[in-house]
Structure 1
């Protein structure tokens, strides 16, 4: 199957939304079992993912205290129990976070011809897009997006970053730099919590040669939000994801047992979640968790997902230190490039991709 072009003409969801349609096209109508009408059970209705304050946990790049540190314990519990948590006082400039979100909102409200010059292909996904996966006739999500690479340096191409708004490229560079630094600190915390040396996970990811990319999501108003999703249920294929959500419009839902919890974003916080590569490396001590995005009939929504991933050609397998007789290695070694290609041909499919990789017993 070719990854050079999309299987059908690309339709911009924002254009559909702004056309004033009263009913969404059939291409966006999800099967009843996948729709967002499933309500939370009373036990999780008012739940929210853990909120963790990182203030004082670092001096420079060094983690203070060991695994007994209360903040590290909170992170460990969140990774094991939820696979998701929010972090505040994380060191990324809140003004920059807000400016980035608003610049991207401005980008999506540019004339279509200004955005079309950045139209993407499924070969790299880089640029302005409106679908994930290349399956012909697939049911699509109600969203547009912009995807770009930050690391490794050889993939970083400023020409592929939007020239408008005029501050956008400068903001992307500074924001990405600060989020990479935060991600590196989180990797140290996860290593310590797994009983490993502080730099263990970072080394597994390729040291300084990690992969890092940004996907900005734009969820236009939807006339029939109960029939579709902004992003179908999936777990993230990479290592860690740091999401800057829309503070005013909740949309992210996290699976909790058989229910879905709608995350209530905390101002100036990042929502952090475990990806499939971290599940493999930790031998499923930490698990990536299904999540999805619901849409809204009254308000559009903008969010920025920053993906912190292993270097693409390093085989990722369960850390030998986390493999025991009682807990044998659950996954064969696979590079992130191989796994990403596997994911991209299919589009979002819940947890089925990573689970299908488990070594036969």
Structure 2
């Protein structure tokens, strides 16, 4: 359980979602069936209109999903003294309440892992007294499958956009030096804070932000909490679906498509009665990869909207900024004055 002192309680509340305007919000989150190749058109449209969509028939074995969730709950249910053996994150490991270096807080505990096959989980293995290799195998199996799915999605995008080669995006995740990250979040129930809830406000689990990488693959249990921000600035709740995956366009992909795809702002509100578990694969490029609009996407006389930068430069800037900061803003080109 996350421990809070009374003076910090107010930091954990945000306004609830505005009522959904049916004229500006479609009846449901864009749904992509990965078993149907013709869905690639809908996939690209979802990236342009929302920057967010749900996928079904994704091919990730249910046994891998259930096993990882089970191991995650087992870990987060352990005594704090046990969990702290895997932290604090530097950058990988266990953390709670504090998110990043800039004062952001949330009602959350988490494990941040390096999914690279060449890495190890030595920080975490010490907490498992029996069968310490089990956790690593569970994570490896799960990440391999969601990475495969992420690459399939990126190749469908490339095919629909008529990009050559077809793996122009997916190869960045498949690269041995890919700087991807895997995160498991646990939002514990907090009934003792119900008395502190103020009318029209919710307990914040993870503050509003965009994901800086190329693509994010999210799966959670059947507890609600995820919210996305629409173009008009209103927040809407995403209905939970433990059998499907949700995909976010990241900042890097927004730049690579020269703004055609939108990196969506999202957040998580905590549930005072039920716990929420989410697992997120953040597909990132190698640190030395240049992030810039793909030349084949730029039409005649179309200028790049962004300054060229490397993933290392953007990652460094993003992770030294507050969650809600407009990270891409400083990398946008200022239109020339005539």
Q: TM-score, normalised by structure 2?
A: 0.87
Match of 1:52 among 32, 52, 57: 32
**Aligned 1:317-336 pairs, distance under 5 A:** 317-325=292-300, 327-336=302-311
Paired position in structure 1 for 2:213: 238
Asked whether the equivalents of residues 177 and 287 of structure 2 are also in contact (C-alpha less than 8 Å), the reply is: no
CA–CA distance in structure 2, aligned partners of residues 267 and 179 of structure 1: 14
Query: Judging changes above 3 Å, is the alpha-carbon distance between structure 1 residues 279 and 139 closer, same or farther for their aligned structure 2 residues?
Result: closer
Instruction: Give the whole-Å Cα distance in 1 for the aligned partners of 2:66 and 2:15.
Output: 28
Cα distance between partner residues in 2 of 1:230 and 1:31: 8
Q: How far 1:139 sits from its partner (Å)?
A: 4.8
What 5-or-longer segments of structure 2 have no aligned partner? none
Tell me the matched-pair count: 320
Query: What are the residue-to-residue correspondences of 1:132-281 with 2, within 5 Å?
Result: 132-135=99-102, 138-151=103-116, 153-154=117-118, 156-162=119-125, 163-164=127-128, 166=131, 167-197=134-164, 198-203=166-171, 207=175, 209-222=177-190, 223=193, 224=196, 226=201, 228-247=203-222, 249-256=223-230, 257-281=232-256
* 1:206–1:311 contact (8 Å) kept in structure 2: no
Q: CA–CA distance in 1 between the matches of 2:301 and 2:174?
A: 29
| 1:337–1:328 CA distance, 2 compared to 1 (3 A) | same
Q: Is the 8 A contact 2:2 2:108 kept in 1?
A: no
Pairing 1:80–2:48 present: yes
Match of residue 353 from structure 1: 327
Residue 314 of structure 1: how far off its partner (Å): 1.1
Structure 1: 5+ residue runs without aligned partners? 1-13, 18-23, 58-68
Residue 140 of structure 1: SS of its match in structure 2? Answer: strand
**Counterparts of 1:88 and 1:284, CA distance in 2:** 26
Q: How far apart, in 2, do the equivalents of 1:301 and 1:31 lie? A: 16
Contact 2:226–2:268, Cα closer than 8 Å, also in 1:
yes
Q: Is 1:298 the counterpart of 2:273 in the alignment?
A: yes
CA 1:161–1:180 in 2, change beyond 3 Å: closer, same or farther?
A: farther
Deviations 1:205-244 (A, max 9, x none): 6745423221101112231463541111100010100001
What TM-score do you get using the length of structure 1 for normalisation? 0.82
RMSD: 2.3
Contact residue 45 and residue 261 of structure 1 kept, 8 A:
no
Please say which of residues 287-296 and 325-334 is displaced more in the overlay: 325-334
